Structure 1
């Protein structure tokens, strides 16, 4: 009996081994796309950006002054405006960050010669002359076609100060604030919609407990009033990374009608202060950063679960208004300026993170990459009159196709990216269908060495043909410099087949692909 069983099992074992070898050789990942009428729309505001008075973000970045030889509009750099318009930037957050809770907006309006000089104690102890204030920022937003997102001072400010700022920006009447705005050159109110109340109030914004901030928030939110023609959207300072207790207390203690959104901040970094070079790293460094980035999924899901407990109808948005990579500053630069380069590793972070935000679009309605220019995971770097676009810029430009498109939920089991006995999912993906009926599928392969083959069943999408673009390069460390600004760029991609409603694509190592079907 035993001998007979052995004889019968041997051919079966050989078949199993052969099949396993064939599957490993094919290494094909099947992705299923669902068309769900109840799926959420991916808000364009997930593609927001951030401009803090930090290092060379505002001064020598966005703003060079009216007397600069660099082409500008009232001191605002024209080439940066045009580049960001290419990203269809939907909103811009300002003036911070930590700076917001030491910023007093009245210092930044009126004749520039009369504006007081202060010290930026958070970022490099440099002097701030307030030449870029409310009027300049709101003009920048008008040039960009972006919604302003103003962060109010709770840490060192007052309720009256925030109340006055809202009135100054939004009231069309004859109050002292409205008259002051008009005297400073702005006849019509801007009607600013998005208002942050506090920033990182658990830390640089006041080192508060969640219970204390929840009560304080209720007070500030009460006096951040609506005016005729604009109902503002109040965004409460939220948690740092896995500080779930902060979210629990805010959702429990603040009436949901007082919060349009609750923020969370999560950076892809190793330790504090952040360490490691943005360009001089090995595969071990790369794998560690990818692991940290992918933890975003767990962080978001845990905060969302708490919000769902208190707000099952999802009336309060989760606002991820600071995300991105954070390394040691570039050699020879001010440690307080957070200036770093941007490599193919950051392109992976951008693609993965945006895919994760899409997947949770029913709760996440706004997000802001930190930051737009010359700081952290910037999409633009400048040096005097020169400007370059980073790998992150090119990924975000491809992904603009998802803005305000309906999510197409995906189902798949990712192949693994293996390194030193550990593994991570190699493939990240998301898909959407826009109002014109175009389908967009974004794919990221983080594996540092291995290409992956992906098969997508498109039978229920009504697609006749696909085109594709890719961001890829020869080395993980590749980045754009002022001497070689096009080392990493968007290129046409042809390594796919579409036959009998099956899309088969071979995606190279550490690359991001965007497919468009129509």
Structure 2
């Protein structure tokens, strides 16, 4: 008998799942860029690590955010263009670089190197402009350098640096965590700064460019901050105006839980904290709806993921990559699917070596972590139409709340329904029944895959065992009425395709 039941309401559509919801984030922090993506400060041609890039190519990244993070609001982009041997060496005010923990930035990896990476990966770049220590002219000049096809000095400089045609960068973040490391601003102060920057940056697509820019404002998990920011933006002397297309938030979880020292109760608390993402999305969306009634503004979660105590400034924010982290990523991706009507992009932190990275490297090898496998399993959801699911499953009390031990999300495209299911119970197996509700064919065919079926939640991915985390075939029992039943071992993620 099934212990959990999932009803997929195929006619109750939510919205299209934007491919950018599977986005990523790379910052000049520890070994993310140097040693992770870029192997040599002195490389005459491309210094990109082919092994890292090959893994990222296979994942089909839709969008990549750079250069930060806190680093962005002390970064001046002109330091990182032109001949590498002429670029100045600058401070890195927030993060140490490499194994020597040097708080310096070589600028060997700059705008053209990042955009070359994006071109190789066929991914959209998302650039974070410096609001904290920069000015509107610097940000606008960056847009011109990247995007203008005319005969100005900056457009010519791009050509001299090796890229004849404009890059066509669409996504521009104006600041990062400006309530914190980006200047410790009040929401009203940031709103005034944002409005000033957006005036100059936003004018370029009306005059210089043949494509529209997507402007991204920095929000906060303290949602009263977001409401005050939006109200101040709306209070411009010329009347109510919202010069932004997206508002961001950041959500990290697990800061008190070292996986190597944790027990099953800690696992439950960790997963429940990850699922708080839903409440944050709902609250920031409510702030937008309450204030910006004249403008459709999307929600971007451009930093998210597990941040364990092992990840400190001294370690370059590196931490083990475990099955439990992968399980949490699946649970959060289900939340994003369920809120595809408001979530326009997300960027897990970070792409390589740092925090809940997807790829890890040493001097000789690059390998995929469990979270990489989850993103690969969830890839068929991208661009599908998300539909409602109803989940009836056992719960377990966690602090002042209950953790539902089975989660799910679903999407449809053509005649296929794609359902992802998580067994968030790290102790027990669960039998899960999946049924399609709505206008469905009388006969269906189902197949599926499962991750982590024989692996403990605290198992760490290494170069030696990385291939053991790949998805395996999932046994599915299909009834004549189209209902499917699956057995999910503890701490597993499954994907079922129903035709």
The TM-score with structure 2 as length reference comes to 0.92
Provide the rounded CA distance (Å) in 2 between the counterparts of 1:39 and 1:80: 35
Q: Is the 8 A contact 2:448 2:476 kept in 1?
A: no
**In 2 relative to 1, CA 496–335 (structure 1 residues): closer, same or farther, beyond 3 Å?**
farther
Partners of 1:409 and 1:420 lie apart in 2 by 28
Report Cα offsets for 1:118-140 as digits up to 9, x if no partner: 12121125221100000000000
Asked if the contact 1:109–1:135 (Cα under 8 Å) also holds between the matched residues in 2, the reply is yes
Higher normalized contact order (CA 8 Å, seq sep 6+, divided by chain length):
2
**1:67-216 matches, cutoff 5 A:** 74-124=46-96, 125-216=102-193
- Output the aligned Cα RMSD: 2.1
1-structure distance, mates of 2:83, 2:251: 38
Does the Cα contact within 8 Å between 1:314 and 1:363 map onto a contact in 2? Answer: no
**SS of the residue 2:496 aligns to:** strand
Equivalent residue for 2:423, pick from 436, 445, 460: 445
Change (3 A) 1:149 1:420: closer
CA contact (8 A) 1:465 1:498 kept: no
Cα 1:73–1:177, aligned 2, differ >3 Å: closer, same or farther?
closer
Deviations 1:183-228 (A, max 9, x none): 1111111010000000000000000000010011000011112132
Candidates 259, 278, 301, aligned match of 2:244 = 259
Q: For 2:305 and 2:156, how far apart are their aligned partners in 1? A: 40
Is residue 172–residue 188 contact of structure 1 (8 Å, CA) maintained in 2?
Answer: yes
Change (3 A) 1:314 1:478: farther
2-structure distance, mates of 1:362, 1:76: 36
Structure 1 residue 418: Cα displacement:
5.1
Higher mean displacement: 288-297 or 146-155: 288-297
Secondary structure, aligned partner of 2:325: helix
| Other structure's SS at 1:350 match | helix
Of 376, 385, 388, the match for 1:397: 376
Distance 1:421 1:235, change over 3 A: closer
Q: Pairwise mapping of residues 197-346 of structure 1 onto structure 2 (< 5 A)? A: 197-224=174-201, 225-226=204-205, 227-239=208-220, 241=221, 243-255=222-234, 257-270=242-255, 275-312=256-293, 315-329=296-310, 335=314, 337-346=316-325
| Per-residue deviation, 1:299 | 1.7
Q: Give the secondary-structure state (helix, strand or coil) at the position aligned to 1:40.
A: strand
Structure 1 residues 428, 147: CA separation in 2 closer, same or farther (over 3 Å shift)?
Answer: same
Paired residues of 2:2 and 2:433 also in contact (CA < 8 A): no
Deviates more, 1:226-235 or 1:198-207: 226-235
Runs of at least 5 residues in structure 1 that lack an aligned partner in the other structure: 1-25
| TM-score, length-scaled by structure 1 | 0.89
Cα 1:28–1:286 change in 2 (3 A) is closer
The match for 1:471 among 421, 441, 451 is 451
Computing the radius of gyration from Cα coordinates, the structure with the larger value is 1
Are 2:366 and 1:381 aligned? Answer: no
Residues in 2 aligned to 1:350 and 1:210: alpha-carbon distance in whole angstroms: 30
Q: Report how many aligned residue pairs link the two structures.
A: 481
SS of the residue corresponding to residue 59 of structure 2 reads coil
